[in-house]
Amino acid sequence: METVSKGQLLWQPSEKEIEKAGVTKFLQWIRNEKKLEINDVHHLWKWSVDELELFWGYVWEYCQIISYTPYSHVLQSRKMPGARWFEGSSLNYAEHVFRNDKGDETALIFQSEIVDIKEISWKELREKTASLADYLKETGVKKGDRIVCYMPNIPETIIAFLACASIGAVWSCCSPDFGMESVVERFKQIEPTVLIAVDGYVYNGKTSDRVEQVAHLQKALPTLKRTVLFKSIDSDHKRLNQQQTIDWQEVMKRKSELVFEPVPFNHPLWILFSSGTTGLPKPIVQSQGGIVVEHLKVLVIEEGVTDEDVFFWFTTTGWMMWNLLVGGLLTGGKIVLYDGSPMYPKPDVLWELAEKTKVSFFGTSAAFIQASLKLGMKPSEKYAFPHLKAICSTGSPLSIDGFKWVYNEVKQDVWLASVSGGTDVCTAFIGGSPVLPVRAGEIQTKALGVNAQAFNDDGKPVLNEVGELVILNPMPSMPIYFWNDAGDKRYKESYFSTFPGIWRHGDWIQFDEKGRSIIFGRSDSTINKQGVRLGTSEIYRAVENIEIVSDSLVVDLESLGKDSYMALFVVLKREQLLDDVLISHIKNVIREQVSPRFVPNEIIAVQQVPRTLTGKKMEVPIKRILLGHQPEKVINVGSMANPEILNTYIEFANKRKALNH
User: Tens of pLDDT along 347-358?
Assistant: 999 999 999 999
Name the pLDDT band for 524 (thresholds 50, 70, 90). confident
Work out the pLDDT band at 639, boundaries 50, 70, 90. Answer: confident
Indicate if the pLDDT at residue 560 is higher than 50. Answer: no
558 pLDDT more than 70: no
Q: What is the mean pLDDT of the chain?
A: 93
Asked whether residue 530 carries a pLDDT value surpassing 80, the answer given is no
Burial 521-541, CB ≥16 within 10 A → b, else e: bbbebbbebeeeebbbbbbbb
Q: Is the pLDDT of residue 54 over 50?
A: yes
Average of pLDDT values for 621-635?
A: 88
Using CA atoms, how far apart are residues 327 and 93, in angstroms rounded to an integer?
10
Distances (CA, A) of 194 to 148, 209, 215: 6, 21, 14
Helix, coil or strand: residue 548: coil
CA distance 170 to 269: 5
Domain of 600, CATH number, reads: 3.30.300.30
What's the pLDDT score for residue 234? 87
Domain-terminating residue out of 320, 341, 362: 341
Mean per-residue pLDDT, 589-604: 88
CATH number at residue 99: 3.40.50.12780
| Contact call for residues 4 and 431 (beta carbons, < 8 A) | no
Please report the pLDDT score of residue 531 as a whole number. 53
Question: What value does the mean pLDDT take over residues 224-252?
Answer: 95
* Residue 276: per-residue pLDDT: 46
Q: State pLDDT tens for residues 109-163.
A: 999 999 999 999 999 999 999 999 999 999 999 999 999 999 999 999 999 999 9
- Determine the pLDDT at residue 538: 78
Residue 655 above 50 pLDDT?
Answer: yes
At 594 the pLDDT is 81
pLDDT the model gives residue 615: 85
Q: How many CB atoms lie within 10 A of CB 50?
A: 11
Mean pLDDT of 12-16: 97
pLDDT recorded at residue 171: 98
Residue 593 lies in a domain: yes
**Residue 30 domain-assigned?**
no
Task: Convert 199-232 to b/e letters by CB count within 10 Å (16 or more is b).
Answer: bbbbbeeeeeebbebbbbbbeebeebebbbbbeb
Angle at 324 between CA 97 and CA 350, to 5 degrees: 110
| Residue 78 in domain | no
Does residue 492 sit within a domain?
no
pLDDT at position 620, please?
Answer: 86
At 391 the pLDDT is 98
pLDDT by residue (tens digit) across 437-477? 999 999 999 999 999 999 998 999 999 998 999 999 999 99
- Between strands 310-313 and 90-91, the pairing is unpaired
> What average pLDDT does the segment 88-108 reach?
98
Query: Following DSSP, what letter does each residue of 85-108 receive, concatenated?
Result: EEET-EE-HHHHHHTT--TTSEEE
pLDDT of residue 279: 53
pLDDT at 661: 63
Domain membership of residue 556 (yes or no) is: yes
Distance of CA 175 to the CA centre of its chain: 14
pLDDT, position 386: 97
Domain boundary among 287, 319, 341: 341
Beta carbons of 12 and 413 less than 8 angstroms apart? no
Any domain includes 578? yes
Selection from 121, 119, 187, 100 nearest residue 151 by Cα: 187
Mean pLDDT of 57-61: 98
Quick one: pLDDT band at residue 397, thresholds 50, 70, 90?
A: confident
Range 526-549 average pLDDT: 80
Confidence of residue 277 (pLDDT cuts 50, 70, 90): very low
Helix and strand counts by DSSP (H, E) for the chain: 22, 35
Per-residue pLDDT band at 559 (split at 50, 70, 90): low
* Confidence band, pLDDT 50/70/90 cuts, at residue 532: low
**3-state SS class at 354:** helix
Inside any domain, residue 573: yes
pLDDT digits (tens, 9 = 90+) for 310-344: 999 999 998 999 999 999 999 999 999 999 999 99
Our count of domains for the chain comes to 2
Q: Which one of 341, 373, 394 terminates a domain?
A: 341
Closest by Cα among 576, 641, 586, 578 to 609:
641
* Structural domain for 535, as ranges: 526-659
Q: Is residue 417 part of a domain?
A: no
Query: Which pTM does this prediction carry?
Result: 0.87
**Quick one: the chain helix, strand, coil %, rounded to 5?**
35, 25, 40
- Does the pLDDT value for residue 561 go beyond 50? no
Average pLDDT over residues 182-198: 94
